[in-house]
Structure 1
Amino acid sequence: MLKNIFNKSAIRPALVAVPVSVAIGSMVALFLVLLNWAIHFRFGHIWLLYLLPLAGIGIHFLYKLYGSSAGRGNDLIIDEIHEPGAGVPKRMAPLILITTVITHLFGGSAGREGTAVQIGGSVANWLADVFKLDGEGRKLLLTAGIAAGFGAVFGTPITGAMFAIEVLTVGRLKHDALIPCLVGGLVGHLTVWAWSVPHTHYHIDVTPADYRFYGYQLHLNFMLMLKAAVAAICFGVVSYGFARATHLVKDSFARLVKISWLIPAFGGVVIVLLTFIIGKPDYLSLGVAPEYPGAITIPSAFYPGGADASSWIWKLVYTSITLGTGFKGGEVTPLFYIGATLGNALAGVMSAPVSLFAALGFIGVFCGATKTPIACTIMGWELFGPQYLIYFAVVCLVAYLSSGKVGIYSAQRRR
Structure 2
Amino acid sequence: MRANFRNLYRTLNVAAFIRDRHDHAMSVLRWTLILVPMAAAVGTLCAAFLWSLDAATQARFDHPWLLFLLPVGGAAIALLYHLVGRPVEAGNNLIVEQIHEPGGGVPLRMAPLVFIGTIATHLFGGSAGREGTAVQLGGSLASAVAGLFRLDASGVSILLMAGVAAGFGAVFGTPIAGAVFALEVLAVGRVEYSGLVPCLLAAVVGDWVCHAWGIHHAAYNIANLTSTSGALLVEPMLLAKAALAGIAFGLAGLVFAEANHALGGLLKRLIPYGPLRAAVGGVVVIALAYSVGTRAYLGLGVWSAVPGDPTIAGFFTTPASPWSWALKLLFTVLTLSAGYKGGEVTPLFFIGAALGNALAGPLDAPIDLFAGIGFVAVFAGAANVPLACTIMGIELFGSAYAVPIAVACFVAYICSGHNGIYLSQRIAVPKRGGAGRPGVITLRHARAVRRTTDAPSSINTKERD
TM norm structure 2 = 0.85
- SS of equivalent to 1:288: coil
Q: Which has the larger radius of gyration?
A: 2
1:83 is aligned to 101
1:301 counterpart = 2:315: yes
- The answer to whether the 8 Å contact 2:75/2:274 transfers is no
How far is 1:321 from its partner? 0.6
Q: Distance in 1 between matches of 2:69 and 2:401?
A: 44
Q: Who is 1:150 aligned against?
A: 168
| Aligned 8 A contact 1:14 1:179 in 2 | no
Q: 1:357 aligns with which of 366, 370, 392?
A: 370
Match of 1:245 in 2: 259
In the other structure, the counterpart of 2:142 is: 124
Could you say which residue in structure 2 is the equivalent of 1:70? 88
CA contact (8 A) 2:93 2:423 kept: yes
1:376 pairs with 2:389? yes
* Secondary structure in structure 2 of the residue aligned to 1:350: coil
Query: Matches of 1:9 and 1:408 in 2, distance apart?
Result: 39
2:46 to 28, 53, 57: 28
In structure 1, the partner of 2:330 is 317
Is 1:109 matched with 2:154? no
More contact order relative to length (CA 8 Å, sep ≥ 6): 1
* Aligned mate of 2:239, from 203, 212, 225: 225
Q: Does 1:338 align with 2:346?
A: no
- The alignment of Structure 1 onto Structure 2 pairs a total of residues equal to 405
Partner amino acid for 2:304?
Answer: P
Aligned-partner Cα distance in 2 for 1:13–1:244 = 39
Are the equivalent residues in 2 in contact too, given 1:203–1:355 (CA < 8 A)?
yes
Is the alpha carbon distance of 1:225 and 1:327 closer, same or farther for their aligned partners in structure 2, counting shifts above 3 Å?
A: same
Please tell me the residue identity of whatever aligns with 2:205. Answer: V
Task: Answer whether contact 1:144 1:185 (CA < 8 A) is retained.
Answer: yes
On the 8 A contact 2:238/2:404 being kept in 1, the answer is no
1:193-272 alignment to 2 at 5 Å?
A: 193-211=211-229, 217-272=231-286
Root-mean-square deviation over aligned CA pairs: 1.5
Q: Secondary structure at the match of 2:362?
A: helix
TM-superposed CA distance for 1:25, in Å, is 0.2
Of 44, 48, 52, the match for 2:66: 48
Corresponding residue for residue 398 of structure 1: 411
In 2, distance between residues paired with 1:82 and 1:8?
27
Report percent identity of matched pairs.
Answer: 51
Describe the shift of the 1:32–1:369 C-alpha distance in structure 2 as closer, same or farther (beyond 3 A).
Answer: same
Q: Deviation string for 1:142-170 (max 9, x for gaps)? A: 10000000000000000000000000011
Q: Which runs of 5+ in 1 are unaligned?
A: 1-5
Does structure 2 retain, via aligned residues, the 8 Å contact 1:13–1:141? Answer: no
Alignment match, 1:3: none
For residues 170-212 of structure 1, the C-alpha deviation after alignment (integer angstroms, 9 at most, x for no partner) is 1122111000000011000000111111101110011243345
Deviation at 1:68, TM superposition (A): 3.0
Instruction: Look up the equivalent residue of 2:191 and give its one-letter code.
Output: L
Give unpaired runs (5+ residues) of structure 2: 1-22, 429-465
> How far apart in 2 are the matches of 1:40 and 1:371?
33
CA deviations 1:233-267 (Å, max 9, x no partner) are: 00000100000010111111112224432111111
CA distance in 2, matches of 1:238, 1:112: 20
Distance between the aligned counterparts of 2:137 and 2:93, measured in 1? 13
Distance in 1, matches of 2:296 and 2:153, equals: 46
Q: Deviations over 1:274-319 (max 9, x none)?
A: 11011111100000011211111111010122x3111000000010
Query: How far apart, CA to CA, are the structure 1 residues paired with 2:33 and 2:190?
Result: 25
Aligned runs of 1:128-207 on 2, under 5 Å?
Answer: 128-207=146-225
